[in-house]
Amino acid sequence: MTVSSNHLSSYSDDDHIENADEVLQRIFGIDGNGSSMGSDMVNLSERARKLDSLEFKKPAETRLIAVANQKGGVGKTTTAVNVASALAEHGLSVLLIDMDPQGNASTAMGVDHSEGVRSVYDVLEGRLSLNEVKSSSEHFSNLDVVPASIDLSGAEMELATLHERNNLLNSAIQALLADAPTQYDYVIVDCAPSLGLLVLNALCAVKEVLIPIQAEYYALEGLGQLLHTIGLVQRSFNPKLIVSTMLITMYDKRTLLSKEVFDEIQRHYEGIVLNTTIPRSVKISEAPSFGQSIITYDPRGAGSVAYGEAAYELNSRSEKVIQKLHRQEGNEE
């Protein structure tokens, strides 16, 4: 089909072609007259654009963070995978260590973790180093993953008789950082939903704990038990450990309960709870089945934007968290 010059000349230089954001604004508006869904779409678009412009800064030293909660189904692995991916997407170097025998974090990152594959199990057994078992992410060149194979399921019994059995992962991480102290900005460990030896290894290897908390009443009861366990680890094994971050997951803004849980936790743990909340999202649940994080699976969706904002908030608190860790280390000396 030929377009005539007359047709082209009918458009003046002043004619403006609307972009997607402007179309949403025109159709739905944000002055309260548009639909709730439309306002949400406009808001999400604005949040995504703002997130693109934010600067993620390298922390002064490697932050070692365990993502832990003994209660299953709270978004623990989802948080570990997506926070790690969001940090990597914005230019920071990240090592994600899967310490859950189920290997869900490995699956979500598209990393082979079949039986017999080199994994964190070999590291804990002392056969291999973290450098020898890590794999590069298919989606981010600055994100490495240490997989967990099914072999890890028998590790608790096998490690029980070893000397310094609670410090096996700590020794491996320290050896890695000693060889290349500036290699990683973040080391994130995804813990199993339990309170056994594998989780103890993770808590002894890090300095911070990030606790994902589902926006429901029962989560508050489980939180007390988890904090008690972390306190025991602080007193007996790792006095440098702190709970630096709490993140509310599966938040449903349509329900009063979600808001009440968020307000209650924020009131009790002021300065620790992120202002960002992670919404319930089918896309977040779908992403692992495609071997992806939500960051790459649905880049402009609500889940991706929320985890990007959570990662930014986590990153922006680096200076305060590191200062707190140094003060705590000074008090121990």
* Calpha distance 108→117 (Å, rounded): 17
The crossing angle, in degrees rounded to 10, of helices 197-205 and 168-179 is: 30
- pLDDT bracket for residue 9 (50, 70, 90): very low
- Neighbouring C-alpha atoms within 13 Å toward the C-beta of 121: 23
Residues 6+ apart with CB under 8 A from 328: 239, 240, 242
Q: Which two tokens stand for residue 332?
A: 């121990």
User: If you average pLDDT over residues 26-41, what whole number do you get?
Assistant: 49
Confidence at residue 22, expressed as pLDDT on a 0 to 100 scale: 56
Report the range of poorest mean pLDDT among 88-97, 105-114, 206-215. 105-114
Residue 175's SS3 state is helix
Are 108 and 139 in contact, with CB atoms under 8 Å apart? no
* Calpha distance 209→206 (Å, rounded): 8
Confidence at residue 40, expressed as pLDDT on a 0 to 100 scale: 62
Confidence at residue 4, expressed as pLDDT on a 0 to 100 scale: 44
Tell how many helices (H) and how many strands (E) occur in the chain.
16, 8
User: If you average pLDDT over residues 189-194, what whole number do you get?
Assistant: 90
Strands 63-67 and 242-251, bridge-based pairing: unpaired
* Calpha distance 161→60 (Å, rounded): 37
Model pLDDT for residues 94-144, shown as the tens digit of each residue:
999 999 999 999 999 999 888 878 999 999 999 999 999 999 998 999 999
231-247 burial, b at 16+ Cβ within 10 Å, e below that, comes to: eebbeeebebbbbbbbb
CATH code linked to domain 45-332: 3.40.50.300
- pLDDT for 199 beyond 60: yes
User: If you average pLDDT over residues 38-45, what whole number do you get?
Assistant: 70
Residue 70 CB neighbours (<10 A): 18
Model pLDDT for residues 225-249, shown as the tens digit of each residue:
889 989 999 999 999 999 999 999 9
- pLDDT for 259 beyond 80: yes
**Backbone phi, psi, residue 328, to 5°:** -65, -40
Edge-to-edge order in the sheet of strand 208-214: 135-136, 143-146, 94-99, 186-191, 63-67, 208-214, 242-251, 273-279
CA distances from 226 to 202, 211, 220 (A): 14, 9, 10
* Calpha distance 51→300 (Å, rounded): 10
